[in-house]
Structures are given as structure tokens and as C-alpha cells.
Structure 1
Amino acid sequence: MNGRLGALQLIKTGGLLALVGCLLGLQACHSPRQDAQARLDALTTPEPDALRQRAMRRLALASAYFEQNQSDAAMQEARAALQIDPTYPQAFSLIGLIHQRANASVLAQQSFEHALQLASQPPSTSADLADVQHNYGWFLCQQDRFDMAQTQLMQAIAQPNYRQAGKSWMALGVCQLRAGQKMQARGSFEAALALEPTNPVVRYQLAVLDWQNNDASRAQAMLGALNSSTQASAESLWLGIQLARALAQPQEQRRLTQQLNQSFPNSTQALALAQGKFQDQ
């Protein structure tokens, strides 16, 4: 009797009807956990694409390991990123770079190609695709597949919203130099310089091209800002010394000589200087 009264009371209060509706899927069933999540979503902004965000954090760690030449640790973190989000193209691109460093060209090729496939599909953006195309293009250049490399790099540069076009112009210039295309390389380096005026590699490469064209004054003007900065290298200082010598500037030559010997005393350039192996000899 008491059970019947209890059931009738539930019906009157609507509790049993709500329970039946929940079980049949006629209305939503809310657990305390779901209610708490709903309140959290109402008070804060949910993280967009949480899986990709988690994968990005693991890939950032993988990239840091890669930059420190810790390839095994980088590979582990890249794998962890893909376990979170198997469709993350940048993770496969980094794996391609790791294989490239290990001279495993077949595995690198496969990694880059899969990365390109994923980067060409949503939710990847044009900038994501450009990043992969840049890495793949540089890999192809290292394999002396210059035409394919330049195609990938130019496609990367052409992608809208790509913020590292200067880097790709620089890579394209280096690749064109390796292919013996000095005129095209100059154009690429100048495009890179317009986007990144302090890029040390670009300034050095343009100065080398000017020096090879017997234009020491133009080469020195291009190189001067670099050698006066903290980005000066043994190569740029050695070139600066040769330019000062060609332009009969003994004071500048002594200054750069002192800088080279102090900053890079064990470099091959310092040894060449000590032995007087100038380019014009």
C-alpha cells in the first residue's frame, strides 16, 4: 500500500514521468557532473578543439627537443601528439624532419607526403599547409631534387595568411644557389630581405653574390649591419675582412680581424686568416 502511494506521489510530482522520459531518450538526462560542466561552460569560454590544443602542446615540446638535437625525445613527443590527434599534420612534418636528420630519406618522404595530405583538409588552415610545404621543400632541396623543391617552396609562399614567407624565400634562394641559379637566387634573397631586413643568412648570401660579381662596395654595405650586430658569424666576419682588404681599408680590416679572433678563435676562418689565405690569392 505504501509503495502504491509512493508511486502515485511520484506521478503527481512528475518525477516518474521525467525518469521514464530520460530513459527512453525523450528528454535529456542530467547528472551532477553534466550540470557542473554546463555551469562551467556558461561562466567560461570552452577551449576550442581541445584535442588539437593538447596535441599542439606536446608538439611544442617535441620541437624544443628537436632544436636541441635530441631526436629520440622529439620523436617520442611527436608520437604522443599523434596519439592525442592522429590528424595533426605538423606532427608528421616534424617526424619527417627527424627522419631527414637521421638520413632516413624514405621515411622522411613518407612522413612529409602524409603531412601534406592531412594539411590539405579541414581543420587545417592555409598557414598549416604552408608550414608543411616549406619543410617538404627544404627536404627535397637537400635531396638535390631542385625543381620539386622550388615548387613546394613557392606554393608555401603563395599561401594566404602565411607569416613565415621570409623564411621560405630564404630557403628558396639557398636551393636556387645549389641548383646554380644565381640570378633567381638573388631575387629570392631580396624578397626575403624585404620581409626580414635583419636576417643574417640573407644578408650574408647577398653580400657573397655581390663579392662574386666584383662589387666589393655593395657587398660591404650589405654586410656592415650584420657584422656590427650580435648575429655576426665567423663566415660574415671573414668575408668582411676580405672586403675591407679589397677596398684598402686597413683600420676596418684590423677591427674585423680582432672581432673574428676574439669571437671565433678556433674557426676555420680564423685559421685561414692566420695563414693569409685570402680569396684573391
Structure 2
Amino acid sequence: MIKQVSSKLEGWHGRLLFAATALSLLTGLSACGNQPLSSDSEGGSRRELATSSDQTEAQRRAGIRLQLAVGYYEQHQLAVALDEIKQAVAADPELADAYSVRGLIYMEMGENRLADDNFQRALRSAPNNPDYANNYGWFLCQTGRPKESIAHFETALKSRNYQSPAKALTNAGVCSLKFNDTVAAQRYLSQAFQFDAGNPLTNAKLAQLAYDRNDYERARFYIGLVLKNDVQNAEALWTAIKVERKLGDTAAEASLVTQLRRRFGNSSEFAAYQRGAFNE
């Protein structure tokens, strides 16, 4: 039986996909601070890594504006965030992080052409930056080009310096499902689970894949992790209901149906339950 929870966090599906890009940009903001400096010696000695003391005043101003922009972006104050980014770029036109962040802002605003331009500008500056690659991959996936997105997630995953592989793996799994490549989706999501076993989006998608191949015990395990972590919405509850129905646990099913009715009575999932659409 799947444990009943009373979380009030709703809409996790969209929010977690959003966070996959928003949080990745935060991990990449220091990238501009470790670029190699050119050698001054004629003998071609090894290049040194730049540190904060090597920054010009303009670069420091740009960095401050960029941090402010990220803060406003996280608060969904997109117009203010965009203005801060403009000032960051004005101070330092070569700040690649600013273009990746501006791409995310334009993406959230629905300005897809401008978003694409900025993501590509960032990638031209640093083609192998894993955060830029992940962000652009997610943009492609969300704008009708999921197959194209996979190569960018793979670029992110190849980087030894990437600090958030679970995000790119989950994104790759979700986007593989968009063009019905369930084998790839299973592979990516299973790997993501190894890095972050508590990610509700990863677990929800793994539950759905298990359910679709009639592995209901495994589906119960994954969807149980979603609900155990106090994260649920209509989609998660509906999956859990279908799992318990297949396993014949009528008490668990009834408990989950009560939650679905009480909290998401106007949802398409509850409508599906009412018409008995368990196999749609």
C-alpha cells in the first residue's frame, strides 16, 4: 500500500522541469572566473587560471548585475531580470553566462527566437559548457525539437566538471519520452535515479514506464517515493491509483481516490477516474 500524504505542494511536474534549467544556471555563474590566462613568457609556459583578482572593474560590475538578474529570475520578475542582464552585458559584452541567463528569461517570456539567439551566443563562447548545453537542450525540448535536444544533454554529461548530471539525465529521459523512445528514456532516468533517488520527476516518469510494461510492483515503488517525499499532484495520484488497482489493493486505491477527489476534483485525471478510463 502506498503511504498517504498531505502535502500542499502542487504543480511539481512543471516546476521541476523549470528548476532543472533555473538551478543549472546558478551552478554555472562562476564559469567566467576560471578561464585560463594567456602566458606572458616566450617559452610557452602553462597558462594560469584566472581568479577574482584578475577581474576588471567592469567585469565585477557585470557579475553583480548577473547575480541580481538570477535572483529576479528566480522570483519570476522577468522584466527586472532582463533589465539587469542588459546592464551586465553593457558592462562586459563577453560575459557568456549573461547570454545563457538571458536565453532562459526570454524562454520564460515566450520569446523563443530571442531565447534561441542568446543560448547559441553563449554556446559559441563556450561550446562545451555543460550548463549552457543543458539549458539549450531543455529549450529545444520545450519548443518542439526534442530529438535535437538529446545531443546537448549528452554534451553536458560528457563534461567532467558538470556538477548536476542528474538534471541533464532527467531532462534527456523526459525529452526521449516526447518522441516515444522508451528505451532511451529508461536508460537516462535510471541513471538519474542513481545520482538523485529523491527527485520526484525522475521517480514519476520511472513509475509510468514500469506501469506501461506491466511491472506494477516496480511502479508502486517509484510512485511511492514521489508521495513519500510529500510531493504529489493529480498526475502522480492518478498513476498511484492505477497501480493499486492493478495490484488489487482496494483500500489503498480508495484512499488515493479520496485524495484525488478532495484536492483535484476538477482535474482531467479525476474525470478519467470517473469514467473508468484506467487504460487510456
TM-score under structure 1 length normalisation: 0.73
Partner of 1:82: 89
Aligned residue pair count:
229
Q: Name the amino acid aligned to 1:189.
A: L
Deviation of 1:266 after TM superposition, in Å, equals 4.3
**Cα distance in structure 2, aligned partners of 1:241 and 1:51:** 57
Partner of 2:219: 219
Q: Which range moves more in the overlay, 143-152 or 155-164?
A: 143-152
Query: Superposition pairs for residues 154-193 of structure 1, below 5 Å?
Result: 154-193=154-193
Q: Which runs of 5+ in 1 are unaligned?
A: 1-44, 121-125
With a CA cutoff of 8 Å and minimum separation of 6, indicate the structure with the bigger relative contact order.
Answer: 2
Deviation of 1:255 after TM superposition, in Å, equals 2.3
Secondary structure (helix, strand or coil) at the match of 1:245 reads: helix
Partner of 1:280: 279
Partner of 1:145: 145
Partner of 1:18: none
Partner of 2:68: 61
**Cα distance in structure 2, aligned partners of 1:174 and 1:138:** 10
Secondary structure (helix, strand or coil) at the match of 1:183 reads: helix
Partner of 1:38: none
Alpha-carbon contact 2:147-2:176 (below 8 Å) kept:
no
Bigger helix share = 1
Distance 1:55 1:212, change over 3 A: same
Q: Which range moves more in the overlay, 63-72 or 152-161?
A: 63-72
Deviation of 1:155 after TM superposition, in Å, equals 0.4
Alpha-carbon contact 2:134-2:153 (below 8 Å) kept:
yes
Deviation of 1:265 after TM superposition, in Å, equals 4.5
**Cα distance in structure 2, aligned partners of 1:46 and 1:165:** 27
Alpha-carbon displacement from aligned partner over 1:127-157 (angstroms, at most 9, x marks no partner): xx11111111111222333443111110011
Distance 1:182 1:158, change over 3 A: same
Alpha-carbon contact 2:153-2:172 (below 8 Å) kept:
yes
Distance 1:55 1:255, change over 3 A: farther
Distance 1:141 1:280, change over 3 A: closer
Partner of 2:124: 117
Query: Superposition pairs for residues 1-281 of structure 1, below 5 Å?
Result: 49=55, 52=59, 54-120=61-127, 129-273=129-273, 275-280=274-279
Q: Name the amino acid aligned to 2:137.
A: G
Partner of 2:33: none
Alpha-carbon contact 1:90-1:115 (below 8 Å) kept:
yes
**Cα distance in structure 2, aligned partners of 1:47 and 1:277:** 66
**Cα distance in structure 2, aligned partners of 1:157 and 1:184:** 15
**Cα distance in structure 1, aligned partners of 2:109 and 2:226:** 32
Partner of 1:40: none
Deviation of 1:183 after TM superposition, in Å, equals 0.3
Deviation of 1:185 after TM superposition, in Å, equals 0.7
Distance 1:46 1:187, change over 3 A: closer
Alpha-carbon contact 1:89-1:132 (below 8 Å) kept:
no
Percent of aligned positions that are identical: 31
Alpha-carbon contact 1:242-1:278 (below 8 Å) kept:
no
Deviation of 1:165 after TM superposition, in Å, equals 0.9
Q: Report the RMSD for the aligned CA atoms in angstroms.
A: 2.4
Alpha-carbon contact 2:200-2:225 (below 8 Å) kept:
no
Q: Name the amino acid aligned to 1:130.
A: P
Distance 1:51 1:264, change over 3 A: farther
Deviation of 1:110 after TM superposition, in Å, equals 1.3
**Cα distance in structure 2, aligned partners of 1:46 and 1:60:** 15
Partner of 1:27: none
